[in-house]
Amino acid sequence: MPASRISITIPAALVAQADTAARRRNRSRSWIIAEAVRRYVEAAAPGEAVREPTPLPYAAGLGAQRLAQLRADLRLTPEDRVREAERTLQAGRPHGSSAYGSTTRLIGFERYEDYLDYKRREDAR
Phi, psi (rounded to 5 degrees) for 8: -130, 155
Domain residue limits, the chain = 12-44, 64-124
Q: What are the tens digits of pLDDT across the range 82-97?
A: 888 888 788 877 665 5
- Nearest Cα neighbor of 115 from 99, 91, 82, 93 is 91
Phi, psi dihedral angles at 119 (to 5 degrees): -60, -40
- Give the amino acid at 62: L
CA distance 21 to 28: 9
Number of C-beta neighbours around residue 22 at 10 A: 16
27-70 pLDDT tens trace: 899 989 999 988 888 877 666 656 677 666 655 566 777 788 88
